[in-house]
């Protein structure tokens, strides 16, 4: 029985992701989301009491997937540079493999529909990156910038690279990814 419930919830989240990225929050009604998911509208409200709850659950779900992807195989890297580079490559790969999810995060991370509570909970998933940046500053690997600023710049730069690759389909996407990291690295590293 639990599997059936999870299937319906997953179908609703997927339909919401598709419609929100295509039409925005206002352009996607709960009735449309339910129809796209193949469930009754009342069923949607069994899982998500309000549209805002659905938006926040989806945001939490997608940001959690991104965070887990960013941290994959991080323990195999030994230097600050290599760890940051691994996170970069993981992030870009996730964005290219999950363009709707990546678009959703980019479109709605500053949305008034996402509650402060959800943002706080989501940021707990990124403590590893915050700690890594602080470690890089403390060890003198990078300039003494705000860790929050570095994280924001890192994320926004990754969005730019993913969008560039998806929109223009460059012949040498590996070079674009490497160049993108180099731009970030040269802006951070002490010379």
Answer CATH for 52-188 from 3.90.1720.10, 1.10.357.10, 1.10.3720.10, 3.40.640.10:
1.10.357.10
Give the bridge partners for 189, in sequence order: 142
Same CATH topology for 1-49 and 52-188: the answer is: no
Domain positions in the chain are 1-49, 52-188
Looking at residue 36, what is its pLDDT?
95
In this predicted structure, the answer to whether residue 99 has a pLDDT above a threshold of 90 is: yes
* pLDDT tens digits, one per residue of 9-24: 999 999 999 999 999 8
Residue with tokens 């003494």: 144
Could you give the CA distance from residue 105 to residue 93 in angstroms, rounded to a whole number? 15
pTM: 0.88
**CATH C-level class of 1-49:** mainly alpha
Looking at residue 5, what is its pLDDT?
57
| Cα atoms in the 13 Å half-sphere on the side-chain side of 40 | 3
Looking at residue 76, what is its pLDDT?
95
Could you give the CA distance from residue 21 to residue 8 in angstroms, rounded to a whole number? 20
Three-state secondary structure readout of the chain: CHHHHHHHHHHHHHHHHHHHHHHHHHHCCHHHHHHHHCCCHHHHHHHCCCHHHHHHHHHHHHHHHHHHHHCCCHHHCCCHHHHHHHHHHHHHHHHHHCHHHHHHHHHHCCCCCCCHHHHHHHHHCCHHHHHHHHHHHHCCCECCCCHHHHHHHHHHHHHHHHHHHHHHCCCCHHHHHHHHHHHHHHHHECC
Compute the mean pLDDT over every residue in the chain, rounded to the nearest whole number.
92
What mean pLDDT is predicted for residues 22-42?
A: 93
In this predicted structure, the answer to whether residue 1 has a pLDDT above a threshold of 50 is: no
Q: From 152, 126, 135, select the one nearest 78 (Cα to Cα).
A: 135
Instruction: Return the higher-pLDDT residue of 120 and 161.
Output: 161
CA dihedral sign, ordered 115, 98, 125, 84: negative
Which of 1-15, 77-91, 124-138 shows the lowest per-residue confidence on average (mean pLDDT)?
Answer: 1-15
Q: Judge contact between 163 and 183, C-beta under 8 A.
A: no
């Amino acid at each position: 029985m639990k599997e059936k419930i999870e299937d319906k919830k997953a179908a609703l989240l997927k339909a919401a992701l598709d419609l929100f990225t295509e039409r925005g929050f206002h352009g996607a009604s709960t009735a449309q989301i339910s129809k796209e998911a193949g469930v009754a509208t009342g069923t949607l409200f069994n899982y998500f009491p309000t549209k805002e709850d659905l938006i926040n659950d989806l945001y939490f779900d997608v940001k959690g997937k991104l965070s887990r992807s960013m941290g994959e195989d991080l323990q195999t890297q030994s230097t600050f540079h290599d760890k940051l580079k691994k996170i970069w490559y993981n992030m870009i790969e996730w964005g290219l493999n999950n363009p709707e999810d990546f678009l959703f995060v980019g479109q709605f991370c500053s949305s008034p529909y996402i509650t402060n509570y959800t943002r706080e909970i989501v940021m707990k998933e990124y403590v590893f990156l915050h700690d890594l940046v602080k470690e890089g500053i403390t060890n003198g690997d990078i300039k003494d910038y705000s860790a929050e600023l570095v994280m924001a710049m890192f994320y926004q730069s990754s969005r730019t690279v993913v969008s560039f690759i998806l929109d223009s389909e460059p012949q040498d996407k590996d070079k674009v990814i490497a160049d993108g990291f180099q731009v970030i690295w040269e802006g951070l590293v002490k010379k």
